[in-house]
A and B are shown apart, each in its own frame.
Chain A
Amino acid sequence: MRDAPSPDRPVLQRTGAKDRTLAASASERSSRWLASLQIWVAIILLAIVFGSALLAAFVTPYDPNEIGLDKALQAPSVQHWFGTDQLGRDVLSRVIWGGQVSLFLAACAVALAGAFGTLLGLVAGYFGGAVDRAVMWIADVQFSLPAVILALVLVGAVGPSFTNIVVVLSLANWARFARVIRSEALSLKSRDFVLLAKLGGASPLRIIAYHILPNVLGTFIVLATLDVGLIIILEATLSFLGLGVQPPDPSWGTMIADGRGYLERAWWISVFPGLALMATVLSGNLLGDALRDRLNPSQRRRW
């Protein structure tokens, strides 16, 4: 009810209160604006990286493996935006092709690690008991081994083919999925709808597939987005150490390693693939954070 201001109800005080609520909503709005800016920056950067990687054959100005010793170590110019390397190859073309290799590898590894980890997490969380203890024990083993060393040893043992690298990267990364999905499954299975499904005669497989899996998908997407960055870095590390993508195929890690010896004379050989790597991983993480906040506001900053 809105009546005229009476003498015993000062008008000033009411406007003051109104201003305060306005200020609060303004700061809230600017934080929301920043959050959406974060998402858009991430999406645009990822679109550029993914787009050029997908269309590498059409957007690269030169053949990434075309050697021209007469053009070696040229600084960035109109002809070669990112300069040329010690063998005269165009750095921009190699960054784009390298992105295709790195992203495809990372996508395959995340998909494999995510599927494997989620499956184990669901089974461990739903069945509990000995299964749960066994799965979590193996996950702890994976956690306790540094990912780089684990990957190094495995690739050293089986050799650096594409499939091997994907499998090794997923073996070094599935446990995070398993652990987070397990804890979600654990809390979901005590909800009434799972009890009702059981009393309706649903099999464990059906309960996991229809009642638990759909409710962990949001978490899965967030984890996977954040994991892409980690895996790209791990792959670059392996390539840097010579156990990842093999030359002459370009990859960001190999390119950074190649340019190491020329840093004083030709910084662009290492810096541009490094920047591409950083931009991709950073925007992956920004997008992952934003997705987490959107999909599940109650779990902000939990992992």
Chain B
Amino acid sequence: MSAFLSVRDLRKTFPVSRGLFGKPELLHAVAGVSFDVPAGTTFGLVGESGSGKTTIAKMVMAADEPTSGGIVIDGSDIATHGKAERFAFRRLLQPVLQDPYSALSPRMRVDRIIDEPLRIHRTYSSKAARAERVAYLLDAVGLPASAAQRYPNEMSGGQRQRVAIARALALEPRLLVLDEPVSALDVSIQAQILNLLRDLQDRLGLTFLLISHDLAVIGFMSTQVGVLYLGRFVEVGSKETILSDARHPYTLALIASAVPEADAAPVTGEIPSPLSPPSGCVFHTRCPVATDRCRQEVPSLRQLKPNHLVACHFAETTRKETRNA
């Protein structure tokens, strides 16, 4: 199983200045994250806001430089790319972002919006060929051909997101980075867009990196799931494992907040500041089963069974413990 996207020990720190004369402190937005996404599958990154999901997405899209660590896409390390290589590489990977109202140029007609990447990369020699491609893409995302002549402000959020997907697909990318693709949409539209994305994945053999705070979305779409907390994974496993046999108290709490009848209590309180992460296990401040050991010793991300990694000292017993807590 060769990975299409491979992320190795990715880190990103931002210097944050404290007042006028204070020494700048380092904010660890992403603190050592590794994962592989085999071609044609979906890797779901789930976590609260501030967990580093979007920072990871930005680095994968080469919109932001990692502080350290490597990102390998289709066998090529993106850190080594020169200008020309990066330009060519952009075709492999396209994003779909959260807010369909901000994602489309308001004064650009839909056909121009979808067509723009084709013009930039000069993939089609003639205007007619490009128009044909635009028509094909509109059809593929379930929009009528007449949508080409419209402006974004004449469309609903769901239609706009379809246009954004059509644009992302224009260059025949192999990887789509979906950053909260449906969280700005009505619930009834969310299902339509998610179904469309899954359908496109099957038809075009796309690989997805999906980012969401919504475990239901992650569960519907993903093959493999990584649970992020304060810029690091607390649990990684197949979708089935995470949904039915999660071991980390944070994952259990996330499931509890998504599914009311679940056993564990939903997570309470605020995520701690990444400027001064807690000692030991970063989750101990909100963990229902934390002990003194958790406050001192950092749990490693260890393998519990094949394809199931958990960063918890008590992973073997958490399911029982949280039920009692």
Contacts and interface: CB of A to CB of B under 8 A. Distances in A.
Contacts of B102: 191-193
A246 interface: no
B129 interface: no
A201 B117 contact: yes
B54 to A, nearest CB: 12
A200 B171 CA distance: 9
Contact of B97 (A196, A198, A211, A214): A196
Between A191, A200, A206, A215, the greatest number of chain B beta carbons within 10 A of the residue's beta carbon is seen for: A200
B94 A199 contact: yes
Contacts of A192: 97, 99, 102-103
Contacts of B105: 193, 197, 210-211, 214-215
Interface in B56-85: 61-63
A44 interface: no
A201 B87 CA distance: 6
Contacts of B164: 196
A47 interface: no
Nearest to B170: A200
A210 B97 contact: no
Contacts of A215: 105-107
Between B61, B103, B116, B121, the greatest number of chain A beta carbons within 10 A of the residue's beta carbon is seen for: B116
B216 interface: no
Contacts of B91: 201
B90 interface: yes
Interface residues of B, number: 24
Nearest to B99: A192
Contacts of A196: 95, 97, 103, 164, 167
Interface string B97-135: 101001111111000000011001100000000000000
A189 to B, nearest CB: 12
Nearest to A213: B107
Interface string A196-224: 11111110001000110011010000000
Given A192-B97, A195-B63, A214-B108, A200 B120 contact: yes
Contacts of B167: 196, 200
A186 B250 CA distance: 39
B1 to A, nearest CB: 28
Nearest to B116: A200
Interface string A162-204: 0000000000000000000000000000011101111111100
A201 B90 contact: yes
B207 to A, nearest CB: 16
B95 A201 contact: no
Contacts of A197: 105, 116
B229 to A, nearest CB: 26
Contacts of A210: 105, 108, 116
A75 to B, nearest CB: 55
Report, as a range, how many residues of chain A touch the other chain. Answer: 10 to 19
Contacts of A206: 120
B256 to A, nearest CB: 33
Contacts of B99: 192
Given A192-B97, A206-B120, A214-B108, A199 B103 contact: no
A200 B63 contact: no
A10 B102 CA distance: 48
Interface string A217-258: 100000000000000000000000000000000000000000
A199 B61 contact: yes
B104 A200 contact: no
Contacts of A195: 63, 97
Nearest to A195: B63
B117 A198 contact: no
Interface string B157-186: 000000010010001000000000000000
Contacts of B171: 200
B83 to A, nearest CB: 11
A208 to B, nearest CB: 12
B97 to A, nearest CB: 5
Between A193, A215, A217, the greatest number of chain B beta carbons within 10 A of the residue's beta carbon is seen for: A193
Interface in A18-46: none
Contacts of B63: 195, 198-199
Contacts of B106: 215
A277 B116 CA distance: 47
A211 B97 CA distance: 17
Contacts of B87: 201
A192 B152 CA distance: 14
Contacts of A199: 61-63, 90, 94-95
Nearest to B113: A193
A195 B171 CA distance: 17
Contacts of B97: 192, 195-196
Nearest to B120: A201
5 contacts: A195-B63, A195-B97, A196-B167, A199-B62, A210-B105
The 5 A-B residue pairs with the shortest CB-CB distance in the complex, in nearest-first order:
A214-B107, A192-B102, A200-B117, A192-B103, A201-B90
Interface of A: 191-193, 195-202, 206, 210-211, 214-215, 217
